[in-house]
Amino acid sequence: MSLLGRLEDLSLIDIVQIVFLSRRTGVLEIIDESGRHTVLFRQGLVVNASSPEYPDLVAFLEKKSLVNTLQAASLRKMEESGIAYGTAIVEMNLLSPEDLADAIRSRIVEVVTPLMDSREGEFNFILSDSMTLLDVEYDPDSIFKEGGLAPQKILGGPEGEKLKPLKGLEESLKAGKELLRGATSGEPAAPASLDLGLGQRATAAAERPPAPPVAAPQSVAFPLPEAPATFTPVVDEEPFPQSAPPAPPPAPAAQNPPHGSAAGQFKVAGGLFSIETPEAQFRNVVLYERNPLVRVAAKRAFARKNVRIFQYGSLEDVRAAMTDLFRSNSFFVTFLELSEEDKTSDGPSVRLMQQLKARNPRLPVVLVDPAADLRRRHDVLRAGADLYLTKPTPARLQPGLAEEELSLFADELVLFAERSFQQWEELTGRYGVEAGKKFYELASKDSVDRSFGLLKQLINELSNPNDIGEVSATILRLASQYVDRGALFVLRNGEFVGLGGFGVTGGGEEMSGRVKRIRIARNIPSILADVASTGAPHRGKMRKTPANVDLVEHLGGALPSEVVALPIAHADRTIGILYGDNAENHGPIDNVTGLEIFLTQAGYAFSNAVFASERARS
């Protein structure tokens, strides 16, 4: 479910009730001239709210003299150690559960009351699968009988009485469910007025053609009512969960109209409404951005262009989305916000961009900087970014300027994406499922050509086989093109000895130093021993043995979902093992045939280097 727009188009009362009716979990962000306000929902019930004046529960209680300064400091320390404020308050007997419930209700009311009649500000509802107690600040199930507060308990109205806007929304949702029941039973769905009060011009029943046949019982499609010229907030069933979006459904040939077709449809699914065109199924944008104002502006700009945008505030969610888009052969444009950590060449957004480019270098990626930095621009473009942009500065996001600045910036994103979509369609000759397959086939051919070019270059670099450090560095450099984390071992004196490695360690000593301290006996069960015994490569899961657990711990502790272990042999004898995994992003490891070919060629040089190294040590 996505819900965003301006309060002048959809009031807070309507927003709260839409979320309540759809029983969603997530956070509603409202940005106005006074700052950022949030309302937290769990299964449709309001469980918390914050504002610039009351950023957290302790600040509210302290301001209301319900806790003193020393108690507030103690509560904050307990929260830092993982104990929610509400839990600590009750355990310390600072408030009874009943008094805490009253305080929480009062805080929510004080936050939302000024917003109820406001028509200024942007809102964005961010869906979440679940919330922790630290997110909510207390345990709703132990404080409230229902697990939260229903709208009538915070938005006014006698107990049990429904607010007027809620009645209208219920009728609309019931109409959608009736359509669904009609479709699943095989009976024709009677035309119904589905006016959400969001500004659409209702189409007369006589003007509507019959609904087309439905392929699946989950949705019924009928013609899109004509939209007004002004912006209309969109209430839609989320195309797929933020953590892992599924592949777009295959489209028949008839679903590939010429570029620019506006054959939009209103889809009714579970009582919620979405606008989608056939074109939008294949025009995808992934945006990593933590500023809700920028997200709202981007969503609005791309919606006008029939582009499907997936917005995330976490790089882990972005990785999951990319994995599924890869699996579906989807073309997508990626915008990644740079962070303070990206001031170095191995920052998280830069690394994610490089991983994406390694999978398919033809996919466009834009890196967005909060502030202009020529050195960083130079570095990210050299690292493979297609474009470097800067966001509007905080000084330009003041009342009277913010809307225009954000609109101009969002238009820049749209302009780049539109050009990328046009290039994709020119390359493949059309858009759709077959175009996606062709696009990935071309990228795969490019990757193979590039890999063999790199293989030749690296084989030529093995000019001094007596230098074990040079040979190891060359092997690891190629391996880094295939896996997130890697380690190279030599079989010496009945044990596997680490020579070097690469990848993220999670902090502390760098990977190469960690690997050089690893010693694993040849005669105990491990993935290295298995490969050495069979002489065959291993790919897939790794058995949980003490040696394997120790290996992962030495590499930093991050657990992979897939590993590879490749033998390095000479004269039919395994003399080394190259280990690699996907511990950083858990995406599937690509075909490693090129790496295997290189290791067969490098076996002689590796053997000579090992022999020379042992002779030098003796």
Do 414 and 468 sit in the same domain of this protein?
Answer: no
pLDDT value, residue 193:
33
pLDDT in tens, 401-433: 778 888 899 999 999 999 988 888 877 766 666
Do 424 and 472 sit in the same domain of this protein?
Answer: no
Nearest to 87 by CA among 119, 128, 132, 123: 132
Asked if the structure places residue 237 within a domain, the reply is yes
Asked if the structure places residue 73 within a domain, the reply is yes
pLDDT in tens, 279-289: 556 788 999 98
Q: Alpha-carbon distance 205 to 193, whole Å?
A: 8
Candidate from 398-407, 481-490, 583-592, 609-618 with smallest mean pLDDT: 609-618
Task: Please calculate the CA angle 281-228-262 and round it to the nearest 5 degrees.
Answer: 30
Task: Please report the sign of the dihedral spanned by the C-alpha atoms of residue 340, residue 481, residue 378, residue 331.
Answer: negative
Do 282 and 345 sit in the same domain of this protein?
Answer: yes
CB atoms within 10 A of CB 69: 8
Asked if the structure places residue 233 within a domain, the reply is yes
Stretch 235-262: mean pLDDT? 38
Asked if the structure places residue 205 within a domain, the reply is no
Do 18 and 154 sit in the same domain of this protein?
Answer: yes
Confidence of residue 580 (pLDDT cuts 50, 70, 90): very high
Q: Alpha-carbon distance 332 to 365, whole Å?
A: 9
Query: What percentage of the chain reaches a pLDDT higher than 90?
Result: 25
Do 153 and 181 sit in the same domain of this protein?
Answer: no
Question: Which residues form the domain of 469?
Answer: 462-617
Pairing of strands 272-276, 538-540: unpaired
339: CATH: 3.40.50.2300
Do 438 and 549 sit in the same domain of this protein?
Answer: no
Q: Alpha-carbon distance 366 to 364, whole Å?
A: 7
544: CATH: 3.30.450.40
Decide if pLDDT at 203 tops 50.
no
Asked if the structure places residue 451 within a domain, the reply is no
If residue 236 lies in a helix (H) or strand (E), which one and from where to where? strand 234-236
CB of 47 closer than 8 Å to CB of 148: yes
Total number of domains in the chain: 3
Do 126 and 181 sit in the same domain of this protein?
Answer: no
| Boundary-marking domain end, from 387, 411, 443 | 443
Query: Between the CA atoms of 504, 510, 512 and 514, what dihedral angle is there, to the nearest 10 degrees?
Result: -100
Do 409 and 540 sit in the same domain of this protein?
Answer: no
Do 283 and 236 sit in the same domain of this protein?
Answer: yes
SS3 290: coil
